[in-house]
Amino acid sequence: MKTIIMTALSTLLGLTSLAASATEFQPFQTYTRPALPLNGEWKIIVDPYENGYYNYRYEPFDQMDNPPRSAYFRDAKPRHSGELIEYDFDASESLTVPGDWNTQKEKLYYYEGSIWYRKLFNAPATEGKQRTFLHFGAANYRADVYLNGEKLGHHVGGFTPFYFETTGKLKPQGNSLVVKVDNKRQRDGVPTLNTDWWNYGGITRSVRLLVTPEVFVRDYKIQLNDHKTGELSGYAVVDGAGAGREVRLTLPQLNIDVRATTNAEGVATFSARAVGAQLWSPDSPRMYQVIVRTGNDRLDDEVGLRTIEAEGKQLLLNGKPIFLRGISLHEEYAVDGGGRVTSVEEARKQLQWARDLNANFVRLAHYPHNEHIVRLADQLGVMLWSEIPVYWTINWDSEETYQNAQAQLEEMIGRDKNRASIIIWSLANETPVSEARNRFLTRLADRARSLDSSRLISAAMEKHYDPENPERAIVEDPLAELMDIVSFNQYIGWYDGLHEKAERVTWHIPYDKPVFISEFGAGAKQGLQGDSNTLWTEAYQAELYRKTLAMLDKIDGFVGTSPWILADFRSPRRTLPGVQDDFNRKGLLSETGVRKEAFGVLREYYRQRALERVTVEKAEQSE
């Protein structure tokens, strides 16, 4: 085996020692690590008045020096017949974790408020100076976490991971893990009060207890810098180490074996050359084993190697033009009456639907989706757009709101920076132009690029019309100057006239950048028949797709689209009886996975697009 010996090159900015609280998040790569799953049945107490958190003076129990046993996180039992304890987890009902509460119990369907979860578990055996961590894939929206009556910390944000160190805090048996989850919408929250999806509450992703050595690999990154030379660079973050700790990174199938030493912050940097590597693409999603070692710790993973860049009006994957045959997707699987996607099988089904559409790209709207789907996309060759929920009417003037958005951005990138499938980080969706908004999103764009320069940055903007020509659509937004791709949503034929208008509209997009249409669409009730001029029919939706796709093909620099949306999804905004019934009906599939007529229209369009690319590539090879 060819061995490449390297040393640490420089300090990696922005990385510090492991945070004690989830509010000071540092990335922790856990997906492939062995762990004790804490999923399954959890006891719950529904607490709309937050009686278990505040006393009658509205003082939080967990901020008291000696919290009373009436606080739910104490998980107390009366010690004698005269002690008043007004709760009992053991006698309470249960919910399944991971999962939203809305679709598990009818009474919680519309519930927005607090629910207390409790799980009893025994600690795994540990040896010597081994450490333990509680890791949550996500909980929506605020989670306060307590172990054996002691508060570990809290996390804000419903779609990104968080964790707490529990070393020295576990008992051999009978540990009580209590989590208060609150999904009330907040004016200063991210997202804010106003959205267009269901506010699923609960511990919606897996909970796991990890055991690590005292010194272990917490994080790493590998990226391909040059698809021609195979130049790689990356780093590893070793928790519990200072300067001089040896770290070894290997990609066995590429005969790469790199050694480096950590700096004072526990960071070791690497460079190498992947000679003969097969680049990752939708046609050939080649994955390579990665092993990162230090001492007696080993982190195993798989990565794809690819480059993505915007050059003028072209989008280049591995140096070659690519058209994004996309579709938008919510993290919802309602086939059997469910809500949030919770399993690998459900995530795989969603991606299979997209592949049946001849799609090579999925826009994960409007928040980071579960880690299952991004890892499956790596394996299946589906490119992704991943977004944070900076949506509509965010409070642009609030520093607290900005810090919340930045934290969610950091957590999204921290988790998924090694996923070849993700080619675009998105910062926002349909946000109204203002100076405050521009400052807010400029800061986010700068932060995103400081964390990851290997992907493109975008946001879903909006169009407007020329005041002197109501059929001349214009995309002109200060945000576009900051973006690598000009992406925008438009609903000509639905919220903007009827579908025949698409035949007359012309476009003015004054940027020398690729143009991506992140949303278009129309509502249709699956099975509702009628002529193509009648709203809500499958025929109307299909005709809108035909006319819209023909219109988009005329846009200079058009590199793809992700129509809205793959499947019907729940939204409290959608109340029309007999048609919507709490569902946004713009899906190409019903909520149960039945195809509508427009599915076939887009599928055929993408088939033709794929054939055109193959024809071009064959012509280039024959030259």
460-504 per-position pLDDT tens digit: 999 999 999 999 999 999 999 999 999 999 999 999 999 999 999
Distance CA 95, CA 537 (A): 38
Under 8 Å between Cβ of 255 and 269: no
Tokens of 28: 């922790």
Residue 466: φ, ψ to 5°: -60, 125
Give the pLDDT score at 22.
39
Under 8 Å between Cβ of 489 and 460: yes
Q: Give exposure, 40-51, as e/b (b: 16+ Cβ within 10 Å).
A: eebbbbbbeebb
Give the pLDDT score at 553.
98
Distances (CA, A) of 171 to 133, 313, 528, 579: 14, 60, 59, 54
- Read off the amino acid at residue 200: Y
Give the pLDDT score at 584.
98
220-271 per-position pLDDT tens digit: 999 999 999 999 999 999 999 999 999 999 999 999 999 999 999 999 999 9
Q: Give exposure, 489-503, as e/b (b: 16+ Cβ within 10 Å).
A: bbbbbbeeebbebbe
Distance CA 424, CA 487 (A): 11
pTM of the model: 0.94
518-576 per-position pLDDT tens digit: 999 999 999 999 999 999 999 999 999 999 999 999 999 999 999 999 999 999 999 99
The stretch 344-353 carries a mean pLDDT of: 98
In degrees, to the nearest 5, what angle opens at C-alpha 112 toward C-alphas 209 and 336?
70
Give the pLDDT score at 307.
98
Tokens of 153: 């910390």
Banded pLDDT at 10 (limits 50, 70, 90): very low
Going from the N-terminus, what domains does the chain have, and what CATH number goes with each? 40-205 (2.60.120.260), 216-306 (2.60.40.10), 316-567 (3.20.20.80)
SS3 of residue 617 by DSSP: helix
SS (H, E, C) 522-574: CCECCCCCCCCCCCECHHHHHHHHHHHHHHHCCCCCEEEECCCCCECEECCCC
SS3 of residue 461 by DSSP: strand
147-182 per-position pLDDT tens digit: 999 999 999 999 999 999 999 999 999 999 999 999
Give the pLDDT score at 143.
99
Residue with tokens 């990356």: 234
**Residue-by-residue DSSP string for 274-336:** -TTPPPP-SS----EEEEEEETTEEEEEEE----EEEETTEEEETTEE--EEEEEE-SB--TT
With pLDDT > 70 as the criterion, what percentage of the chain qualifies?
Answer: 94
175-220 per-position pLDDT tens digit: 999 999 999 999 999 999 999 999 999 999 999 999 999 999 999 9
68-103 per-position pLDDT tens digit: 999 999 999 999 999 999 999 999 999 999 999 999
